[in-house]
Amino acid sequence: MNSNEIRDLLLETSRVEFKLVFPVRMKDHKGMKEKTYRMNFFSRLFEFGYIDKEIRSDGFVLSREYYISFNTVLGELFVHNLLTKNYDWLESRFYVLPNNAQVFYRRFLLHNNYKSIQINLETIRDRLNLDDKNITNLRNTVERNILGPLLDHGLIDSYESDEEGLYGLKYTIKRPEKLKPDDQDSQK
């Protein structure tokens, strides 16, 4: 990328505004605890500026300095999380999982702390955009390419299928106990 393309990319990125619920690691009397901050207004991740330091006579920029400041609400929360080491929501081993297992984990498991979750096969089909109409093939795909790898990588403890569900086949997924941040630090 040339300097103008980099400038334009940073400028466009800095103009994106978010309004979301952002997880923040806060210290309390018991140690570090994750809390959520609900943004009531839109905020950008960072502010951006640049200075053309050296320009040729034909207008070509020879040297440019970029300034990025995380002085917005979202930027401050982002930097706070970096400083408290709250950026390890997904371990690197997660990315060796099959794509369907990664999407399943993000859509059904990452955003909650439930120890046991019941999910219908139809819900899995809809949320993962699985097109197979053959229930046997769909079931094999879910068990071999999604739940099996999650089990092998320790992201779930177990799963059971039950044909007696109100809406057909459902899976009951048991999850491992999450470690507290203090327990994670002591294991390192």
Reported confidence tier of residue 38, pLDDT bands at 50, 70, 90: confident
109 shares a domain with 152: yes
177 shares a domain with 103: yes
Q: Which two tokens stand for residue 38?
A: 């609900």
Q: Which two tokens stand for residue 121?
A: 């096969």
Quote the pLDDT of residue 72.
93
133 shares a domain with 79: no
Q: What is the pLDDT of residues 131-148, one digit of tens each?
A: 888 889 999 999 999 999
CA 61 to each of CA 1, 7, 174: distance values in angstroms, whole numbers, following the listed order: 14, 12, 58
187 within a domain of the structure (yes/no): no
Q: What is the pLDDT of residues 55-104, one digit of tens each?
A: 999 988 889 999 999 999 999 988 888 887 765 566 777 888 999 999 89
131 shares a domain with 62: no
Backbone angle region of 122, left / alpha / beta, with phi > 0 → left and psi within -120 to 50 → alpha:
alpha
98 shares a domain with 169: yes
76 shares a domain with 99: no
71 shares a domain with 34: yes
